[in-house]
Structure 1
Amino acid sequence: MTVVWVIWAAVALDLLIGDPRWLPHPVIGMGKVIRRVEGWIRQRTTSAQGLKRAGILLPVIVAGGSFVLTWLLLELCAAIHPWLAWGAEIVLIATTIAIKGLREAGLEVYGHLRSGNIAEARQALSMVVGRDTAHLDEPEIVRGTVETVAENIVDAVIAPLFFALIGGAPLAMAYRAVNTLDSMVGYKNEKYLHVGWASARLDDLANWIPARLTAGLLTIAAAMFSLRWKQAIKMVRRDARKHPSPNSGFPESAVAGALGIRLGGENSYQGVISFRAYMGDPDRPLEAEDIRVTNRLLVGVSVLFTMLGTAVLGLAAAAGGSLWI
């Protein structure tokens, strides 16, 4: 049952300390490798077809390398002492999830809104979204924050835990590499359309199951917190596939339904207006309290998934199945 305790310890560690700035984070190293590989590719080809073919190297090198390096590190630790390997596994898995960081990002915006400091709320939101925030009013600040927290429940919590349950820290770290690739090169613009296509598609594939699991868990959490769980189910069925992402619409529509609010609408990116499909019905105006409630759903879903996932692992172990440690 060591695996079960490793997963729980990793979640507890993230909830306790999050990602302190003084501690080197693997994502920083991944980002440096991505930039170097991208630069190497662009030095050797400039054609659309050449960039598309070479773009496959990015996930192979970065995600594959992250898996191999993590596995080798754990093997080295295990050769020294099993407890060292367990400790390393806990720390490494904890770096792939961000429950505390995501929650605190939402609460920072919430705190500024509660104190009436709109300028500081806009600034806090600008640190976690790509849209322009300088002229947003309070409802739009709330919308941006709720959308960000809801969407990131998948790639900052459920997906890395999902892969950790399947393949331990090596697979969780490979997922984090895929997600980092998508955030850096997975854009459908002139610069990254070709070189980043493989990274973007792999991220969509990796998040496909976790996104749908998240929508289901959000419905359960909504029922636990006496929110509109039936409406959450209805909005997922009606609106989830309207989102331009094949995955982001599932958590966003579930949260919109559970809170009885409407997400989506017009966003500005460097002055360019973009319309995002509506999620949910505008049964009431958006308010700062929606951020706090969304954070409750974030923590609730994180605990629910950890409970269910480790329960499945425990049953597999009891049935004689093999575990990854």
Structure 2
Amino acid sequence: MELMDFLPLIAFGLDLVLGDPQGWPHPVRWIGWLARRLEDAGRLFCGGCPSRAYGTGASLALLAVTAFGYGFVTILPLIGWLAMFYFAYAGLALGCLFKEGRRVSALLDAGELEKARTALSMLVSRDTSALDEHDCRRTLAETLSENFNDGFVAPFFWLCLTGPFGLWLYKTVSTLDSMWGYRTAEYENLGWFAARTDDLLAWIPARLSFGALLFCGWIMGLDWREAWRRAPADARKMDSPNAGWPMAVCAWLCGGGMGGSAIYFGIIKHKPAVGPEASVWTSSMLGALERLLFWSALLVALLGQWLSLALL
């Protein structure tokens, strides 16, 4: 066996240790920059809100740019071999998610509510300016749970199956979905293709996330029976076919409710309630959630590495 055979596990370790160092170049930022230019061009070309056809074409064009860029860099002598390790690690976001989540939690524990709101706003797209301490903790629990799949399990799944090339095609779609995948008049058509494709690519990983979290909840002595009984029904309440699965199982395992009203771009959205009703997230519950996510991620990493070796 060669070092490259253990690329998934190495990428997992590098992500936990390094995260996303400030000042380092990152492909997601380049993808986001190009997406914003395409969005601006679409508004100019379509005379306002870009059409669904334009959004589909723009998404496919950006996927082609990602594929070409990855292929060009990785065929370079020596640099290409190192680039494959970088692309594999940079496509995962668990380390950064843990780091930023701990920062928000520590600010809340210290009573620094305003600073916690600002730090939380870097993790979520909703308006955090008026959130109280309880709402901040609930919002943090929601984004940690949902992004366990979006930021780690789904890209890791595609890394194990297709290598860094497939991972970055997924990351391109996921980035476009996070930028354009809103059900508003402004973005509904532009983001239609990216949102539907993201739903498809993340469908299996979301359910794998559910299974890993449930298994590790059992190992940790959490109430896995209640989670097994109640979480699937809660997951199906969500608009997204995937986001509810990790969120609902985490809510029931940790005993904290999720969902409720949130403000997006000045519009109040009422999300379905998942998990135990009228429960308040505490610092200790967030700590339990982080431990649950870590052990579940380790399980996914080991199983994914085994699958990658089996496919060689």
Matches of residues 1-325 of structure 1 in structure 2 within 5 Å?
1-2=1-2, 3-46=4-47, 51-76=51-76, 80-81=77-78, 84-282=79-277, 284-317=279-312
Residue 23 of structure 1: how far off its partner (Å): 0.8
Residue 275 of structure 1: how far off its partner (Å): 1.1
CA contact (8 A) 1:260 1:282 kept: no
Partner amino acid for 1:133?
T
Partner amino acid for 2:75?
E
CA contact (8 A) 2:160 2:307 kept: no
Q: Taking structure 1 as reference, are residues 47 and 19 closer, same or farther at Cα in structure 2, changes over 3 Å only?
A: closer
Partner amino acid for 2:6?
W
Identical pairs, percent: 32
Residue 30 of structure 1: how far off its partner (Å): 0.6
Deviations 1:184-211 (A, max 9, x none): 1122111111122111111111111111
Please give the alpha-carbon distance, in whole angstroms, between the structure 2 residues aligned to 1:32 and 1:271: 24
User: Which residue number in structure 2 is paired with residue 320 of structure 1?
Assistant: none
Partner amino acid for 2:115?
E
Partner amino acid for 1:51?
S
3-state SS of the aligned residue for 1:285?
coil
Partner amino acid for 1:54?
Y
Please give the alpha-carbon distance, in whole angstroms, between the structure 2 residues aligned to 1:284 and 1:51: 43
CA contact (8 A) 1:125 1:145 kept: yes
Residue 224 of structure 1: how far off its partner (Å): 2.1
Partner amino acid for 2:263?
S
Partner amino acid for 1:57?
G
Which range moves more in the overlay, 160-169 or 124-133?
A: 124-133
Partner amino acid for 1:16?
V
* TM-score, normalised via structure 2 length: 0.93
Residue 93 of structure 1: how far off its partner (Å): 1.1
User: Which residue number in structure 2 is paired with residue 323 of structure 1?
Assistant: none
Residue 88 of structure 1: how far off its partner (Å): 1.8
Partner amino acid for 1:164?
L
Please give the alpha-carbon distance, in whole angstroms, between the structure 2 residues aligned to 1:194 and 1:216: 33
User: Which residue number in structure 2 is paired with residue 321 of structure 1?
Assistant: none
Please give the alpha-carbon distance, in whole angstroms, between the structure 1 residues aligned to 2:214 and 2:176: 30
Deviations 1:242-286 (A, max 9, x none): 011111100100101111221111213355322110111137432
Which range moves more in the overlay, 109-118 or 153-162?
A: 109-118
Residue 240 of structure 1: how far off its partner (Å): 0.3
Q: Taking structure 1 as reference, are residues 265 and 293 closer, same or farther at Cα in structure 2, changes over 3 Å only?
A: same
Q: Which runs of 5+ in 1 are unaligned?
A: 318-325
CA contact (8 A) 2:8 2:304 kept: no
Kindly tell me the number of residue pairs found equivalent between the two proteins.
Answer: 311
Residue 139 of structure 1: how far off its partner (Å): 1.7
CA contact (8 A) 1:7 1:90 kept: no
RMSD: 1.9
Partner amino acid for 1:213?
L
